[in-house]
Amino acid sequence: MKEFTVGIIGAGRIGKVHAESLTKYVSNVRIKGIADPFMNDGLREWAISMGIETASTNYQDIIRDPEIEAVLICSPTETHSDYIQEAARAGKHIFCEKPIDTDIEKIKETIEVVEQSGVKFQIGFNRRFDHNFRSVRDAVAAGRIGEQHIIRITSRDPSPPGIDYIKVSGGMFIDMTIHDFDMLRFVSGSEVEEVYAVGTSLVNPEIGLAGDVDTAVITLKLASKAIAVIDNSRQAVYGYDQRIEVFGSKGSIETGNDLPSTAVISSAEGVTAEKPLHFFLERYMAAYSREMVEFIDAVRNDTDTPAGLTDALRPVQIAKAALASLLSGKPEKVIY
Ligand SMILES: NC(=O)c1ccc[n+]([C@@H]2O[C@H](COP(=O)([O-])OP(=O)(O)OC[C@H]3O[C@@H](n4cnc5c(N)ncnc54)[C@H](O)[C@@H]3O)[C@@H](O)[C@H]2O)c1
């Protein structure tokens, strides 16, 4: 198999996860360079330990390198659309972290540039690669649940991010619920037509003062006629709570959380099991690896990526409708 050359922009949490997945789980991939404006000695040492050949402060070192065939964009959200457009114009295949942008027009403009360039594009909706959620999607797609009636998604973080991040995140629906909107499309195979969102700040009043919510329930009407409900919290004291149920005419399928072990202690005081895996880096590590494997496979085999341009756009459009509903207090149609 021919060696495939990759460059990474952004050496933060998720940039490192993807570098490690490529190194450990994808055959014949060379990470030629990584760029981050805050590159320092610690990051350089880490890059060397990963076998990454160059570590620079300028993202254009990645985009302009003629040997690099695919770029992973793992920098902050506000850089994504510009970097995607530059990489596409340079003929690089692109994996970009979610979301492309918080502005719909900017996303559409970026999609046009990618489509014109003909490069492959994959958006970082990692939950599509989670073993539990894939089982749900596969059972639903195989017709085992029959006609879908109710889809329930529970998605609660163990703790909220800092207020500085909340202020620039685009709001909980774009930053966090976006994964749940994607999951809904993924497991149901249907588009969302209407959204009714109720939200408040019960975890931290400062989140409310910053103009965001930390607790929400969102009901959604799907084109398939099914009804969905997403419940979100920025703080579940027992850890990362990520569950889905699809209920339909032939039965239901549901998944629980992944635990560090299945050990259960029974004693005179009660019965105790493990808490869920703490957060996304623990729960979704295998999914992140699978995501990289499937991206490189799609580029190598010239097939569609498992999460493409439309998949990148739709959840942001649903998030905008959710935000509009939160403000109006009424159900809102999703504008496509
Ligand atoms: N799919 C997921 O599960 C998931 C999880 C976490 C983050 N993300 C997304 O990944 C992106 C990065 O998040 P993170 O948690 O890794 O953040 P982070 O802050 O840990 O890392 C971002 C990195 O980008 C660097 N950076 C800053 N400005 C830059 C610029 N102009 N050009 C290039 N690099 C720049 C920073 O120095 C930092 O090292 C965000 O868009 C976020 O939404 C996705």
- 284 within domain boundaries: no
d(CA 273, CA 245): 22
Q: Look at residues 119, 150, 165 and tell me which one is the last residue of a structural domain.
A: 119
pLDDT at 2 exceeding the cut of 90: no
CATH number, domain of 11, equals 3.40.50.720
Atom 41 (ligand 1) nearest CA: 77
pLDDT at 1 exceeding the cut of 90: no
Range of the domain at 237: 128-278+314-333
Q: Is ligand 1 within 6 A of the CB of residue 84?
A: no
Q: Look at residues 62, 96, 119 and tell me which one is the last residue of a structural domain.
A: 119
- 308 within domain boundaries: no
Q: By C-alpha distance, which of 54, 50, 99, 60 is closest to 77?
A: 99
Model pLDDT for residues 21-47, shown as the tens digit of each residue: 999 999 999 999 999 999 999 999 999
pLDDT at 154 exceeding the cut of 90: yes
Angle formed by the axes of helices 80-89 and 104-117, to 10°?
Answer: 10
Q: What percent of the chain has pLDDT over 70?
A: 100
Same domain, 82 and 139: no
Distance of CA 243 to CAs 130, 258, 288, Å?
11, 10, 18
Q: Look at residues 119, 140, 173 and tell me which one is the last residue of a structural domain.
A: 119
- 288 within domain boundaries: no
Q: Is ligand 1 within 6 A of the CB of residue 97?
A: yes
Q: Is ligand 1 within 6 A of the CB of residue 79?
A: yes
- 199 within domain boundaries: yes
Average pLDDT, the chain: 97
d(CA 160, CA 39): 27
User: Residue 187's pLDDT band (boundaries 50, 70, 90)?
Assistant: very high
Same domain, 12 and 87: yes
Q: Look at residue 7 in the predicted model and tell me its pLDDT.
A: 98
Model pLDDT for residues 249-301, shown as the tens digit of each residue: 999 999 999 999 999 999 999 999 999 999 999 999 999 999 999 999 999 99
d(CA 55, CA 34): 5
Task: Please tell me the total count of domains within the chain.
Answer: 2
Q: What is the pTM for the complete model shown? A: 0.97
Atom 6 (ligand 1) nearest CA: 14
- 253 within domain boundaries: yes
